[in-house]
């Protein structure tokens, strides 16, 4: 890692505050108070003050192989010195893009054999909207255009991605969603399950899809899109009854099933794709993040034969693509990343070893007086913070999100990145996290909970 005393933190913060507009940030309120991150190795990041922080979020759910992997940098360097950029429009290709398409198709379920590359998860979901609509036009069903998505889902930040997402604060800025997208309830048992058992609630949440399709008419519904496990919404793990019922409904009503694998893809749930974990067969899978472990920006849509046979097979030219679709250096980064995941057997490791190991320790945090539920699947987990353990839906007597933000700040002070979503805390560490580091993560999370609890007591909130 770099030597941090080379950095003049205050000057960096001031320069940042002068010109940099931060994503998903109140940039004015932030002012010259950014954390300046200068290095990363394995599961650790280092700030400009020399603090080592355990990156419990794998960046933004993306650094599957951890930080600082030289072989990815070397692969990118080698590709850049050969061919740093060329496009894949106009009847051209290049070795890294064809190899990566081949590789992703070999990892994807057998019925999915085509990959359309993009620069990000948001672009992938915009591509999904275009593909889905094109598919039904070509099938001679031009009225099948509406896409059903879920409240509190996240599918990106472009106009299309934010519209598919069900984040009301995002919708409130800029008149979203665009027409042709409707949202149904999410399978969030802790928050919305009422008196139902998880299994009953899972069926109820899935049947909201059936009800919405029947209300609009199946002849007007093009697709349903969902994350296998909602990530940005707060690591919401659907009850086991949910996905099989969703798959049944889509199949029976002839609705395309889009499974957004941007977070769950590439090992996060202990399978190459989250849909494999839940046993469903998607028609389209948007991907990004873990595809390159975030070393360079790249995403894509993995397409089933059902859709490709129509849109490619019968559709002629598809007027869609990005300058950076199949960027050679990004493809080289992705190939090197996937080679590491395969060589180090990280997917099996999440399913059989580190996944169960961390899950057991994380769930034990459920005993803490501040925790209403500690859940984890694969290597993504959440802690629901509650003022008292009397029931699931009890809220703090403070604006929603204040306690989560307080806890997140204590986490940073304890050298751990945990993200606050509402009043829950979430983690999604790199897949390479060792047993000792997993213990360290849980120890720091526990200290963070203790500090948050003490502060809430002081404020009379618990
Ligand atoms: N889909 C999901 C499920 C995501 O979690 C995200 C990003 N957090 C996106 C799409 C958007 O990806 P990007 O930020 O790369 O545009």
> How many other CB atoms are there within 10 angstroms of residue 188's CB atom?
20
What's the pTM? Answer: 0.97
The C-alpha angle with vertex 278 and arms to 273 and 100, in degrees rounded to 5, equals 15
Ligand 1 center to 261 CA (angstroms): 9
Interface confidence (ipTM) of the complex: 0.99
Report the C-alpha gap between 185 and 208 in whole angstroms: 7
Domain with CATH 3.90.1150.10 in the chain: 4-65+347-458
**Residue nearest atom 1 in ligand 1 by C-alpha distance:** 155
What's the 154 CA to ligand 1 centre distance in angstroms? 7
| pLDDT at residue 95, rounded to an integer | 98
Q: Is the distance from CB of 180 to CB of 147 less than 8 angstroms? A: yes
Structure tokens at 354: 């580190």
CA of 380 to the centre of ligand 1 (A): 15
Measuring from atom 10 of ligand 1, which residue has the nearest CA? 155
Query: Among the atoms of ligand 1, which is closest to the Cα of residue 156?
Result: 11
CA–CA dist 340, 337 (Å, integer): 5
**If you classify domain 71-343 with CATH, what class do you get?**
alpha beta
Q: Is the CB of 301 under 6 A from ligand 1?
A: no
Boundaries of CATH 3.40.640.10 in the chain?
71-343
* CB of 288 closer than 6 angstroms to any ligand 1 atom: yes
Q: What is the mean pLDDT of each run of 10 residues along the chain (462 residues)?
A: 75 98 97 97 97 98 98 98 97 98 98 98 98 98 98 98 98 96 98 96 98 97 98 98 98 98 98 98 98 98 98 98 98 98 98 98 97 98 94 88 97 97 97 98 98 97 94
Q: Evaluate: CB of 122 within 6 angstroms of ligand 1.
A: yes
Closest CA to 310 of 124, 141, 62: 141
The rounded Cα 285 to chain-centroid distance in angstroms is 13
pLDDT at 129: 98
Tell me, in angstroms, the distance from the centre of ligand 1 to residue 185's CA: 20
pLDDT of residue 369: 96
Contact yes or no for 330/297 (Cβ under 8 A): yes
Give the other-Cβ count within 10 Å of 219's Cβ: 12
Measured in Å, residue 125 CA sits from the centre of ligand 1 at 9
Nearest atom in ligand 1 to 297's CA: 15
Q: Maximum distance among all alpha carbons in the chain?
A: 67
Distance 293 CA to ligand 1 centre (A): 13
Atom of ligand 1 nearest to the CA of 227: 3
- 121 in contact with ligand 1, CB cutoff 6 A: yes
CA of 298 to the centre of ligand 1 (A): 11
Taking the centre of ligand 1 as the mean of its atom positions, its distance from the CA of residue 122, in whole angstroms, is: 6
| Closest approach atom of ligand 1 to CA 261 | 3
Say if ligand 1 is within 6 A of residue 231 CB. Answer: yes
Backbone Cα Rg of the chain: 22
Per CATH, the number for 4-65+347-458 is: 3.90.1150.10
Is ligand 1 within 6 A of the CB of residue 227? Answer: yes
Which ligand 1 atom is at minimum distance from the Cα of 260? Answer: 3
Q: Is the CB of 262 under 6 A from ligand 1?
A: yes
Ligand 1 midpoint to CA 121 (Å): 5
pLDDT at position 394: 85
Digit-coded pLDDT (tens) for 79-112: 999 999 999 999 999 999 999 999 999 999 999 9
Say yes or no: CB of residue 94 within 6 Å of ligand 1.
no
DSSP structural state of residue 238:
P
* Range list of β-strands (E), 279-418: 284-287, 299-304, 371-377, 380-385
Beta carbon of 48 within 6 Å of any ligand 1 atom: no
């Amino acid at each position: 890692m770099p030597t941090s005393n080379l950095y003049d933190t205050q000057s960096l913060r001031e320069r940042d505050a002068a010109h940099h507009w931060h994503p998903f940030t109140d940039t004015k309120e932030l002012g010259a108070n950014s954390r300046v991150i200068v290095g990363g190795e394995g599961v650790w990041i280092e700030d400009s003050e020399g603090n080592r922080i355990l990156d419990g979020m794998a960046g933004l759910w993306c650094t599957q192989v951890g930080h600082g992997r030289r072989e990815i940098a070397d692969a990118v360097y080698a590709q850049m010195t050969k061919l740093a950029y060329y496009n894949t429009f106009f009847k051209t290709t290049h070795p890294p893009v064809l190899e990566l398409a081949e590789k992703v198709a070999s990892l994807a379920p057998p019925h999915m054999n085509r990959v359309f590359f993009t620069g990000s998860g948001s672009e992938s979901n915009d591509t999904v909207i275009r593909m889905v609509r094109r598919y039904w036009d070509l099938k001679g069903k031009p009225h099948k255009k509406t896409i059903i998505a879920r409240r509190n889902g996240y599918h990106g930040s472009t106009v299309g991605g934010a519209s598919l997402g069900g984040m009301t604060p995002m919708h409130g800025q800029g008149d979203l969603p665009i027409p042709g997208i409707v949202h149904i309830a999410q399978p969030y048992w802790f928050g919305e399950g009422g008196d139902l058992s998880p299994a009953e609630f899972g069926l109820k949440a899935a049947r909201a899809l059936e009800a919405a399709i029947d209300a609009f008419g199946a002849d007007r519904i093009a697709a349903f899109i969902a994350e296998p496990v909602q990530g940005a919404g707060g690591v919401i793990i659907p009850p086991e009854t949910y996905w099989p019922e969703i798959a049944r409904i889509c199949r029976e009503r002839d609705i395309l099933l889009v499974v957004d694998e941007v977070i769950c893809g590439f090992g996060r749930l202990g399978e190459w794709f989250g849909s494999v974990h839940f046993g469903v067969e998607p028609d389209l899978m948007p991907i990004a993040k873990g595809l390159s472990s975030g070393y360079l920006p790249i995403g894509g849509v993995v397409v089933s034969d059902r859709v490709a046979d129509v849109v490619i097979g019968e559709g002629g030219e598809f007027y869609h693509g990005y300058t950076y679709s199949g960027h050679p250096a990004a493809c080289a980064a992705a190939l090197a990343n996937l080679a590491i995941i395969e060589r180090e057997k990280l997917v099996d490791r999440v399913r059989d070893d580190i996944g169960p190991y961390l899950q057991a320790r994380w769930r034990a945090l459920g005993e803490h007086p501040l925790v209403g539920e500690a859940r984890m699947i694969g290597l993504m987990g959440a802690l629901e913070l509650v003022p008292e353990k009397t029931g699931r839906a009890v809220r703090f007597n403070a604006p929603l999100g204040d306690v989560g933000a307080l806890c997140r700040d204590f986490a940073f002070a304890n050298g751990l990145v945990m993200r606050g979503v509402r009043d829950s805390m979430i983690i999604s560490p790199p897949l390479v996290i060792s047993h000792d580091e997993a213990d360290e993560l849980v120890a720091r999370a526990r200290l963070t909970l203790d500090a948050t609890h003490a502060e809430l007591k002081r404020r009379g909130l618990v």
